[in-house]
Structure 1
Amino acid sequence: MDRQNDFEIDCSWKKITNDIKDIFDFKEVLGSGSFSEVYLVRERKTGNFYALKCVKKKQLHHSNLENEIKVLKRIKHDNVVGLEDFYETRTHYYLVMELVSGGELFDRILDRGVYTEKDASRVIKQVLEAVSYLHQNSIVHRDLKPENLLYYSPDESAKIMISDFGLSKMADHGVMSTACGTPGYVAPEVLGQKPYSKAVDCWSIGVITYILLSGYPPFYEENETRLFSKIMKAEYAFHSPYWDEISESAKDFIRHMLEKNPNKRFTTEQALSHPWISGDTAHNDNIVHSVCEQMQKNFAKSKWKRVINATVVVSHMRRLQLAHADPPAPAPLIQVLDISSPGPPPDELDTNGNPSCTSFACVVPVVTSFLRSSSRGRISSSSPVTPTIPCSAGSSASSI
């Protein structure tokens, strides 16, 4: 018997086809990994564009694909990258994903001339609304981080989309125990290998909020043991001068999200009711220069890798528009940064560390970051917690 048949996905709504190219016109390769490939495709019948994730059946035993499909099929939200369809051939499974072309959250901030607390608050509000929806449906994302927050389109008013559900979990009983996530964003109870709940997502949102307002992570250490020790103690600070102009309301919001005790940590509902999210306490001063300076030092070291894939999509869409004589839509600004700056010298840092770089820098391409290899930089689900061990071989096929 062919080994590929040992790993069939039981999915009643999947569609069977002999040749996927009868349904989709393949345009460009958006990305590839050990267990899957992603293509920009155009549906022949409708002309609609999608990101098509292709997974070989013979490699399915390495993936969390079935879990990812079950989760994506269960949810439908304006701020979640959607699974549009699912096909099967003799050798492959194909996930037809909503095409998200606006780029990553950090890239958009780096390209802006003006960026304020209010902008950050609006982003976090959208994330909270989506995660609240997930939690109401007994789904925990477990890998929330800036790389998984994408803009739907290049439009200035584009909405935020949550992506990459390779590590998500349908936790109908509310408690989980598998250690997984990304160093720097994972909650103390996960690192402590204790049973945990949906509160881990709220911790991650707190980390993201901290970064959006400062440009650097709340927890940083070159030594992994010390890094995890700081996280488990919730040991962070609002360093001067980077936080001097940030509102007390924002800091209060972060404190509630980065609460060490998950039972005292804000839920998504409580977070949505906080004045920094629902009220008018977020400052409107332009903080783009201070935030972008730190982001460039801490998170832009692999930005050049993303530029290539972004250019592929933008140029191809532009060619198609020209071919149909339609006026071209404005393309997202793809800015190549000077990444040679080492960041603040060590003698400028206090004991809590304002980092010169991070070991968990974002390294994924625009458009398909929700489909990249989930093993990169994640924590093992079956091994002692360390950032250098892949998160179970199975999670890799859930992303590129």
Structure 2
Amino acid sequence: MPLFGKKDSGKKVRKETKDGCEKQPSIDEKYVIKELLGTGAFSEVRLCEHRETAQQYAVKIIDKKALKGKEDSLENEIRVLKRFSARRSDGTGVGIGPLGPGQTDKPPRFAHPNIVQLLETFEDKSKVYLIMELVTGGELFDRIVEKGSYTERDASNLIRQVLEAVDYMHEQGVVHRDLKPENLLYYSPAEDSKIMISDFGLSKMEDSGFMATACGTPGYVAPEVLAQKPYGKAVDVWSIGVISYILLCGYPPFYDENDANLFAQILKGEFEFDSPYWDEISDSAKDFIRQLMCVNVERRFTCKQALAHPWISGNAASSKNIHGTVSEQLKKNFAKSRWKQAYHAATVIRQMQRMALSGGGGGGGGGAYGRSASRISNAAAAADGTAPAGSDQDQQQQQQQSGTAGVGQTDSSASSSK
């Protein structure tokens, strides 16, 4: 059965018109598919070029056979991406080829400059093709390490762009649910490049108001998700708080070699601003992080409140160069870190239940919770990238749900081997 309920005809898709059945161009007729950019569990991402305009894009190619039984996940991802993409009057992506007779570019009703665009889709008997905006600037942490200078103001500007994009998503009723540095990409190699949010594989339309499915990436997931409580948009704000923390010191606010202990730390929501790493960071930055990483969901900032905070909207962010400290810690703690693993939070929650560690976040962390300098320096050595000891089915499910990080990059499951 076709994934989208359409009749397959090789790579041809037929569209009913007033004149009868009109044959639409196949992906091969419209694009030249080029070199491999990245691979994932059930997909690969390649460079592609529009045959008429020579404009380059990224195409995510999903294997239907590998996707069997998980079609809903891909359909959800496409539905979310289409919500944020500008469209032409005939449904094709804005800027995809020259305008045809009677064709116009619709205003970008839901498009946002910091959200990777889905431009059009194709389907044949064996594969689904997503034509995506090409993003070539690289991952967030890699760019910071490569920079010669980096300040609080730089971090503030990055987080402001993320907040604006996520606030826009929330206004449209979408929760990302997997915000993390690997999903924040620079649009181009230019020094002043904007940041882009990608990978909507776990995103969800907030139609019913609250969600309950445990998902996300360990280290960035909000306490209410781990506590298996109904949750909403606030989970994205927590994740932005974690990212903000890392951007200012180079190491995570919560860490433990054991995932159950890590989750117990997050449930308590206790973190520190360690000396000497935070000595030069402004009080405003610390207050901003506290407001985003608040365990009490009712007291946690919304994106709009975060955008109004002086560290984002004012001049509170310091201009002191912190590149040396931050880049050193990023290289130590994220080179081969398990934080780059893309496995389902539900896997570890099941482990916690078996170990009687679920719920109120009881203990387990022991002395590992302390934010000593030795803990920070040893984090990279301890993080061997080993996935949790859940079932193969658990890990396979999460890998399948990994979304469109491909837009010029590998998806999450591939980037862990970087």
Using the size of structure 1 for normalisation, the TM-score is 0.77
**AA matched with 1:350:** S
Q: Residue 75 of structure 2 is aligned with which of 66, 77, 90?
A: 66
Q: Distance in 2 between matches of 1:146 and 1:198?
A: 18
1:43-96 deviation per Cα after TM superposition (whole angstroms, max 9, x unaligned): 112111111011123333335210000000011110001101111223221100
User: Counterparts of 1:348-363 in structure 2 under 5 Å?
Assistant: 350=372, 353-354=375-376, 356-357=378-379
Name the counterpart of 2:401. 395
Contact 1:183 1:360 in 2 (8 A): no
**Pairwise CA distance, 1:392:** 4.2
Contact 1:31 1:38 in 2 (8 A): yes
Contact 1:132 1:269 in 2 (8 A): yes
Q: Distance in 1 between matches of 2:2 and 2:150?
A: 52
Contact 1:220 1:227 in 2 (8 A): yes
Q: How many residues align?
A: 333
Contact 1:150 1:162 in 2 (8 A): yes
1:172-194 deviation per Cα after TM superposition (whole angstroms, max 9, x unaligned): 23200000000000000001111
Contact 1:149 1:161 in 2 (8 A): yes
User: Counterparts of 1:356-375 in structure 2 under 5 Å?
Assistant: 356-357=378-379
Q: 1:150 to 1:26 in 2, by over 3 A?
A: same
Contact 2:272 2:371 in 1 (8 A): no
- CA root-mean-square deviation: 3.0
User: Counterparts of 1:138-157 in structure 2 under 5 Å?
Assistant: 138-157=173-192
Q: Distance in 1 between matches of 2:177 and 2:323?
A: 29
Q: Residue 147 of structure 2 is aligned with which of 112, 121, 136?
A: 112
Name the counterpart of 1:273. 308
| SS of aligned partner of 1:217 | coil
Q: Distance in 2 between matches of 1:297 and 1:352?
A: 12
Contact 1:216 1:294 in 2 (8 A): yes
Q: 1:22 to 1:116 in 2, by over 3 A?
A: same
| SS of aligned partner of 1:38 | strand
**Pairwise CA distance, 1:227:** 0.8
**Pairwise CA distance, 1:360:** 11
Name the counterpart of 1:183. 218
Q: 1:222 to 1:362 in 2, by over 3 A?
A: closer
Name the counterpart of 2:63. 56
1:27 is the counterpart of 2:34: yes
Name the counterpart of 1:297. 332
Bigger-Rg structure (1/2): 2
Name the counterpart of 2:322. 287
Q: 1:90 to 1:100 in 2, by over 3 A?
A: same
Name the counterpart of 1:158. 193
1:15-62 deviation per Cα after TM superposition (whole angstroms, max 9, x unaligned): 826752222112201122331121111111211111101112333333
Name the counterpart of 2:263. 228
Identity between Structure 1 and Structure 2 (%):
56
Q: Distance in 1 between matches of 2:228 and 2:163?
A: 25
1:187-208 deviation per Cα after TM superposition (whole angstroms, max 9, x unaligned): 0000111111110000000000
Q: 1:289 to 1:239 in 2, by over 3 A?
A: same
Q: Residue 248 of structure 2 is aligned with which of 213, 217, 226?
A: 213
User: Counterparts of 1:309-388 in structure 2 under 5 Å?
Assistant: 350=372, 353-354=375-376, 356-357=378-379
Using the size of structure 2 for normalisation, the TM-score is 0.74
Q: Distance in 1 between matches of 2:165 and 2:388?
A: 22
